[in-house]
Amino acid sequence: MTEPNAPTVPDKSVPGKSRPGFVFFGGVAAVCLLLDVASKAWAEVELTRRSPLDPIVIIEQHLSFALAYNRGGAWGLLQNASESVRRPFFLVVSVAAIAFIVSLYGKLQPEQRALRWGLPLVLGGALGNLADRVTRGSVVDFIDYRAGWVQSMNELIAALVSGWHVTDHWPTFNVADISICVGVGLMAVDMAISGRRNAEGRREGGPSSSAPPHPVR
């Protein structure tokens, strides 16, 4: 007569499967913040010497560097609001977003590689723009982009939203904005991968996969 096998304990110390560490998180965020601060400092020094009508052209009719200050948020949100409303609003939103990002990173699983990069990228960008709001009261933007697809997109929005301004010009942005957009994109990728992984798990296991097998009669 043989004894039943003892239950096996899953090995959680598999190489390469450790939870993401905060050293990596802080390092990526710090690099993004440094690049943003350095590029804005360069823009303020170099572009203030030039006329607003004389930007640094990178790609003719598409990409150039021209200095601008955004007192509002994305797409000019609260651009014309009073300082007593605008500054507290953006400070509270920024601090809440940073706290959420740090908290979420601490809960990451080893397989969430896209989110491992996406969260520190968003954090670095958020810190860069927050530093501008604290020190300057506005965000330094200098990357100016124009394209036909931007005009087509605005024409589509104008067909749905009355009074929408149609232009081929994308709102001027900075390195922090790029970091945030890439990070958010990676977060979306992680959501898609997680959703697919969960769907595959349900198909393989089924709703009653954890139930004990029926005895053979």
Tens digits of residue pLDDT in 57-84: 999 999 999 999 988 666 556 566 666 6
More confident call, 45 vs 6: 45
Please report the pLDDT score of residue 45 as a whole number: 94
Please report the pLDDT score of residue 17 as a whole number: 62
What is the number of structural domains in the chain? 1
Confirm whether 190 is domain-assigned. Answer: yes
Type of residue at 80: N
Confirm whether 6 is domain-assigned. Answer: no
Q: What percent of the chain has pLDDT over 70?
A: 77
Lowest-pLDDT choice from 43-52, 107-116, 202-211: 202-211
Q: Please, what is the average pLDDT of the chain?
A: 83
Q: Which range of residues forms the domain containing residue 78?
A: 22-198
Confirm whether 34 is domain-assigned. Answer: yes
Q: Under 8 Å CB-to-CB from 150, ≥6 apart: which residues?
A: 167, 168, 169, 170
pLDDT, tens digit, 9 for 90 and up, residues 137-147: 889 999 999 99
Confirm whether 215 is domain-assigned. Answer: no
Please report the pLDDT score of residue 57 as a whole number: 94
Q: Which tokens sit at 81?
A: 């609001």
Nearest-angstrom CA–CA distance, 165 and 39 = 30
pTM over 0.85: no
Please report the pLDDT score of residue 77 as a whole number: 63
CA angle 137, 122, 81 (to 5 degrees): 30
Confirm whether 212 is domain-assigned. Answer: no
Confirm whether 209 is domain-assigned. Answer: no
Residues catalogued as catalytic = 141, 177
Lowest-pLDDT choice from 127-131, 152-156, 199-203: 199-203
Q: Measure CA of the first residue to CA of the last residue in the chain; give whole Å.
A: 22
Average the pLDDT over 167-194 and give the result: 94
